[in-house]
Amino acid sequence: MLVSSSAANDDIHRFTLAGASLGTFHNSTSLNFVQQMAYATNGDVLAAGFSSNNVVQLEITTGVVVGSFAASGARGVFQLGNGNILWSNSAGVHVFDVITSTSAQV
């Protein structure tokens, strides 16, 4: 299991289903105060970075950042069937278009 955190030096922690810690999955300055996470269609992890104001894509086995985009105060994230990414913040719900690299509120 992956559990997001607001604690410094442990953005996303990995646990067994029995609750035993497997250590840090991801920690970097490119992601801070992770809110919701979801699987990308390719199996990677999407993480909404509230304090880092972005959505980050992390490689599923290593936790390495493989992509990101600006998302002010991001709280929720989900990849749509067409590949675009739905994300939310306190201002509403937005869709990030992966072709144009722009977000629009919906």
Look up residue 31 and give its DSSP letter: -
- The domain locations on the chain are 29-105
pLDDT tens across the length of the chain (106 residues) = 999 988 767 899 999 999 999 999 999 989 999 999 999 999 999 999 999 999 999 999 999 999 999 999 999 999 999 999 999 999 999 999 999 999 999 9
- Long-range contact list for 80-86, CB < 8 A, 24+ apart? 81/41, 83/41, 85/46, 85/55
In the CATH scheme, what is the code of domain 29-105? 2.40.10.480
How many residues can be counted in the chain?
106
Q: Please state the pTM of the whole predicted model.
A: 0.93
